[in-house]
Amino acid sequence: MEKPRVLFLCTSNSARSQMAEAILRKYAGEKFEVHSAGLEPMEINPYTLKVLQEVGIDTSGLYAKPLSKYLGNTHFSYLITVCSKAEERCPLFPGMGKRLHWPFEDPAEFRGSEEETLQKFREIRDQIEEHIKSWLKEDDTL
């Protein structure tokens, strides 16, 4: 039986959606096929990789992907937007199941010292992790 597919979407696929992809794989990779994409993908932010690695998450398979990679050729059980811009601009497309919106602050837009920036990325990582853990617990169909 095929695993349900989950797509996390944000604008650049450089921070929040990458974190969500890696974290869901950590907690439920055996239950889901997990992907992420961006409307305007950019390189993954180095702080994203650093904060994931800090908590023992393998980042070797992560890379930025455009939404167009999936449009029209992949069915997703869940499309989860993790930023308001993506929620507003994401088209409806065939093969999309349940659409959810989990808005998180963009840590890449934070301006501060290196340590303050790292702390902001950790904060967002932890928020995403808690949200995913709650989602997995609350929906017994998952």
Going by C-alpha positions, the residue among 124, 129, 131 that lies closest to residue 47 is 124
83 catalytic per annotation: yes
Choice among 9, 23, 51, 90 that is catalytic: 90
With contact defined as beta carbons under 8 Å apart, do 35 and 63 qualify?
A: no
Choice among 10, 22, 34, 44 that is catalytic: 10
10 catalytic per annotation: yes
57 catalytic per annotation: no
Choice among 82, 83, 86, 132 that is catalytic: 83
3-class DSSP state of 129:
helix
Residue 112 CA to residue 114 CA, distance in Å, equals: 7
Catalytic residue positions? 10, 83, 90
